[in-house]
């Protein structure tokens, strides 16, 4: 194991420029810590999208309401796994719940996560599906009948009054849910933004940028899942829903991009001690992932193409194509954003005198394959969830 670490460090040695502290040869937060904020961002974004439909009564989004809730849940299940896999002693991770150090931003993760999973997502989904679950528990046969029976939790009342109550409670949970979703991802931004030792991270805008990039990635994700799932179900896509999603995505990108630019300009204008090494890093190590991938591919191109597709005279077929490509580009862009924050923050020495490199490992707990697995896993979970609780409008059970 030690030999592996040594080999890994040594492969990067020749690419180090300037002076870095001797303890900085090993880069501490790797690919998995990039995946973690990416996943949580998708959760928060998908949930906020669902809340828009419910709270602000944007009815055209109805076809994706349940789908976004289930997507949020699927990604939330996986979100803590990269953290766990990255710990030096995962077997002690439970200490964060039992004996948390309350001043630590990270210690609060467990509680924020548990709150979000238990109080917000699971409850909201349950209240939303309760009527359907009760009916499925009566209609289905065999083991599935039994499963749904358990999932009703004994609340089988289908009277008008109880359905109304479900809706009411669901609404209350959504109202609690929105600040919770903001908390979940804003908090992830705070983990980075509050590290004063690191000039690349230390920014009061970090939680806000994280939040808006989360909304961007969440909307794009739901758009992608909706398009692909509708395609595979051989159904026609609801164009007005797609248009609305495209429009929301566009607005979210504009806000997110403006915030990122603001952060960028502020840094340049303040021109603090660290600016020299940071500009070196941007123009060399991060050029591809920041300028090309995050700014141009992930923001500018989707913005322009969305404006054109949404507001131009474009046939529906073309529109769908543009939305799809824009959503994929946005995903690439947001993943790069996470990469640039997490990896970028470690590519320069805290002595502000040198740059180091990050070499991705292929195998092992923190390797490329593990990250790939963790990115695919939510989709597998989502598939199972969709089988269990069909989120499609046409499969919703109608009473009477």
| Interface contacts to other proteins, rule CB under 8 A | 1-2, 5-6, 9, 19-26, 28-29, 83, 86-90, 92-93, 95-96, 99-101, 103-107, 109, 191, 195-198, 345-346, 349-353
Beta pairing, strands 17-18 & 354-355: antiparallel
Q: How far is the CB of 49 from other proteins (least distance, A)?
A: 30
| CB of residue 50 to other proteins, shortest distance in Å | 30
Least distance from C-beta 179 to other proteins, angstroms? 23
Minimum CB–partner distance for residue 350 and other proteins (Å): 5
Q: 19 vs 383, which CB is nearer to other proteins?
A: 19
Q: Which C-beta is closer to other proteins: that of 99 or that of 159?
A: 99
Cβ closer to other proteins: 325 or 365?
A: 365
Smallest gap from residue 287 Cβ to other proteins (A): 24
Nearest to 321 by CA among 338, 309, 333: 309
d(CA 177, CA 346): 33
Between 348 and 389, CB nearer to other proteins: 348
State which residue, 96 or 219, has the beta carbon closest to other proteins. Answer: 96
d(CA 259, CA 253): 10
Measured from the CB atom, is 101 or 251 closer to other proteins? 101
Q: How far is the CB of 205 from other proteins (least distance, A)?
A: 19
Q: Would you say 78 or 96 has its CB closer to other proteins?
A: 96
Q: How far is the CB of 104 from other proteins (least distance, A)?
A: 5
Cβ 199 to other proteins, closest distance in Å?
10
C-beta of 87 vs 304, nearer to other proteins: 87
User: Smallest gap, in angstroms, from Cβ of residue 149 to other proteins?
Assistant: 40
19 or 311, CB closer to other proteins? Answer: 19
Minimum Å distance from CB 12 to other proteins? 11
Nearer to other proteins, 102 or 159 (CB): 102
- What is the torsion angle, in degrees rounded to the nearest 10, for the CA atoms of residue 24, residue 27, residue 28 and residue 33? 150
> How big is the CA angle at 136 (ends 135 and 137), to the nearest 5 degrees?
90
């Amino acid at each position: 194991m030690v030999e592996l670490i040594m080999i890994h460090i040594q492969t990067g040695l020749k690419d180090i420029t300037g002076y870095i502290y001797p303890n900085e040869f090993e880069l501490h937060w790797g690919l998995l810590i990039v995946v973690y904020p990416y996943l949580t961002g998708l959760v928060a974004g998908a949930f906020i999208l669902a809340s828009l439909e419910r709270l602000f009564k944007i009815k055209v989004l109805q076809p994706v309401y349940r789908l976004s809730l289930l997507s949020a849940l699927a990604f939330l299940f996986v979100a803590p796994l990269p953290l766990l896999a990255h710990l030096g002693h995962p077997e002690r991770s439970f200490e964060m719940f039992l004996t948390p150090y309350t001043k630590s931003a990270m210690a609060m993760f467990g509680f924020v996560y548990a709150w979000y999973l238990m109080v917000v997502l699971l409850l909201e989904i349950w209240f939303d599906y309760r009527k359907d679950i009760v009916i499925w528990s009566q209609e289905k046969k065999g083991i599935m009948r039994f499963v749904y029976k358990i999932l009703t939790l004994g609340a089988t009342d289908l009277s008008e009054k109880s359905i109304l109550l479900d809706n009411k409670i669901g609404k209350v949970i959504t109202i609690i849910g929105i600040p919770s979703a903001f908390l979940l991802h804003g908090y992830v931004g705070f983990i980075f933004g509050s590290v004063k030792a690191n000039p690349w991270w230390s920014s009061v805008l970090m939680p806000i940028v994280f939040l808006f990039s989360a909304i961007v990635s969440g909307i794009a994700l739901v758009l992608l899942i909706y398009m692909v799932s509708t395609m595979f179900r051989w159904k026609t896509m609801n164009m007005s829903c797609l248009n609305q999603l495209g429009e929301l995505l566009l607005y979210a990108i504009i806000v997110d991009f403006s915030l990122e630019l603001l952060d960028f300009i502020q840094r340049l204008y303040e021109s603090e001690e660290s600016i020299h090494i940071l500009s070196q890093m941007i123009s060399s190590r991060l050029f591809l992932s920041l300028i090309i991938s995050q700014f141009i591919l992930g923001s500018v191109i989707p913005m322009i193409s969305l404006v054109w597709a949404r507001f131009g005279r474009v046939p529906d077929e073309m529109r769908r194509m543009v939305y799809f490509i824009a959503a994929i580009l946005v995903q690439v862009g947001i993943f790069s954003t996470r990469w640039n924050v997490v990896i970028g923050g470690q590519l320069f020495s805290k002595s502000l005198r040198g740059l180091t490199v990050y070499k991705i490992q292929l195998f092992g707990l923190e390797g490329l394959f593990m990250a790939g697995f963790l990115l695919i896993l939510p989709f597998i979970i989502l598939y199972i969830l969709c089988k269990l609780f069909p989120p499609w409008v046409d499969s919703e059970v109608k009473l009477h």
